[in-house]
């Protein structure tokens, strides 16, 4: 069985509001209470919406990171491997030409290696993900750093 005060609380609140409307100070306090109560609900709703947007943004960043890792071929490792193969191919071509002509092989493999070739790669998925995740929070931390050297 329900408690009587729980069943009649809307009516009691109505009666309280009727009584308060007759006294000006009570009216002001009652109105302030209602405004504060409504403001609390609105600010809580905004906080929940903000958290939902951040979660959706982070999921989007994770999806972009996954796609980047699948399609990115110009990363440090791939560039270094390609540069080494290219240098070896050009060196072997030079070596073959020198042997066919009866000349002396005066160059080495390192002569065909460009140390700046892989200095700037076009995709760094992890760095892109970190910037994306920071942007979801609304603040991007910037710092100066030396460009990575690919070996």
Angle between helices 24-71 and 9-20 (to 10 degrees): 120
Annotated domain spans of the chain: 4-137
Give me the pLDDT at residue 75, please.
73
Give me the pLDDT at residue 127, please.
84
∠ Cα 145 149 151 (to 5°): 160
Give me the pLDDT at residue 90, please.
93
Give me the pLDDT at residue 119, please.
72
Query: To the nearest 10°, the Cα dihedral for 95, 97, 98, 101?
Result: 160
Global model pTM greater than 0.85: no
Q: How many CB atoms lie within 10 A of CB 121?
A: 19
pLDDT in tens, the chain (151 residues): 445 555 555 556 556 556 555 566 666 777 777 777 666 665 665 555 667 788 889 999 999 999 888 877 777 778 888 888 999 999 999 999 999 998 888 889 888 888 777 776 667 788 889 889 888 887 777 776 665 556 5
């Amino acid at each position: 069985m329900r408690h009587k005060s729980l069943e009649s609380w809307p009516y009691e609140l109505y009666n309280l509001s009727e009584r308060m409307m007759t006294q000006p100070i009570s009216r002001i306090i009652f109105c302030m209470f209602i405004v504060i109560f409504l403001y609390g609900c609105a600010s809580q709703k905004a906080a929940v919406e903000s958290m939902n947007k951040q979660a959706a943004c982070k999921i989007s960043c994770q999806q972009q990171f996954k796609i980047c890792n699948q399609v990115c071929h110009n990363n440090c490792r791939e560039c270094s491997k390609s540069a080494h193969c290219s240098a070896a191919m050009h060196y072997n071509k030079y070596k073959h030409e020198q042997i066919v002509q009866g000349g002396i092989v005066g160059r080495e493999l390192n002569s065909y290696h460009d140390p700046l070739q892989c200095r700037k790669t076009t995709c760094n998925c992890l760095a892109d993900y970190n910037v994306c995740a920071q942007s979801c929070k609304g603040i991007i931390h910037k710092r100066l750093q030396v460009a990575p050297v690919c070996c």
